[in-house]
Amino acid sequence: MADDAAPVLSHRDGAVQTLTLNRPQALNSFNGAMHDALSTELKAAAADSAVRCVVITGAGRGFCAGQDLSDPAIAPDLTPGAPPRDIGNLIEARYKPLAMLLHHFPVPVIAAVNGVAAGAGANLALNCDIVLAAKSASFIQAFSKIGLVPDCGGTWLLPRLVGRAHAMALALLGDKCNAEDAQRLGMIWRCVDDAALADETKALAERLAGMPSKALAETRRAFAAADHMDLSAALSMEGEVQRRLGMSHDYLEGVTAFFAKRAPRFTDR
């Protein structure tokens, strides 16, 4: 496939926006164009009140192999004596905004991990709210193998998901963690047979799209905020969030529907 193909494919089905990373010849690794396209599509979905769930997946046999190590803009110049490139700027300009965009996203984001997820590609998935993986998929903290540390939120996310012992071994060794082990460790929510990934993702996305988006996004934020709090502060924070949500249309609708014994129709975002 030519590298001028759209680096991210965007498809809308009802209230679900699916973004497919589309550089399969390089296992959907990130070059500048793919960063730009993913950021643009995510921002468009965030701004569109008709979108109530986003799915990120990959074209071909991989999910995302992290940074494109051949990208001339950032790849090290291997000529002897050539000055080193400052890749810290890349992290600050690209991966940090991407992770923060997902952290503050107004609706749930599912990573449907169809194949290998390596380096920043693995951590892109872990930044999503729910990770559903094909059984043949795998997660690799590939950074140590090229002399780097986990980025795109890996140092923050991984120990919180799997505990320090497993996080440290995964990061230091850079070994492949298959999807079943990732599920067992608590790194991802669930893995499913390869042939079932598309249907399971669709069912999950439609289910989330029908739920009260504002409450789901607030749940993500509350989990992150509670991380730095003692129990008393977390209880107060929960009260503050409930105060706001208690004034929402969705809360009124949820309780009304409960007593009317009908399905709720949530519309807030």
Chain contacts with ligand T3D (rule: CB under 6 A) = 26-27, 29, 65-70, 74, 87, 90, 116, 118-120, 140, 142-143, 146, 148, 151
Choose between 12 and 145: whose C-beta lies nearer to ligand T3D: 145
**Paired sense of beta strands 16-21 and 8-13, if any:** antiparallel
Choose between 51 and 111: whose C-beta lies nearer to ligand T3D: 111
Collapsed DSSP state (helix, strand, coil) of residue 33: helix
Question: Whole-angstrom Cα distance, residue 159 to residue 74?
Answer: 28
Work out the angle at residue 201's Cα, subtended by the Cα atoms of residues 266 and 97, and round it to the nearest 5 degrees. 80
Q: How far is the CB of 141 from ligand T3D (least distance, A)?
A: 9
Contact 111, 204 (CB under 8 A): no
Contact 55, 110 (CB under 8 A): yes
Choose between 27 and 205: whose C-beta lies nearer to ligand T3D: 27
DSSP H or E segment with residue 54 = strand 53-58
Q: How far is the CB of 225 from ligand T3D (least distance, A)?
A: 27
Count the residues in the chain: 269
Q: How far is the CB of 12 from ligand T3D (least distance, A)?
A: 29
Choose between 65 and 171: whose C-beta lies nearer to ligand T3D: 65
Contact 166, 198 (CB under 8 A): no
Choose between 69 and 241: whose C-beta lies nearer to ligand T3D: 69
Q: How far is the CB of 250 from ligand T3D (least distance, A)?
A: 38
Q: How far is the CB of 82 from ligand T3D (least distance, A)?
A: 15
Q: Which two tokens mark 211?
A: 């739920």
Question: Whole-angstrom Cα distance, residue 269 to residue 189?
Answer: 24
Choose between 34 and 205: whose C-beta lies nearer to ligand T3D: 34
Contact 269, 52 (CB under 8 A): yes
Collapsed DSSP state (helix, strand, coil) of residue 131: strand
Q: How far is the CB of 20 from ligand T3D (least distance, A)?
A: 17
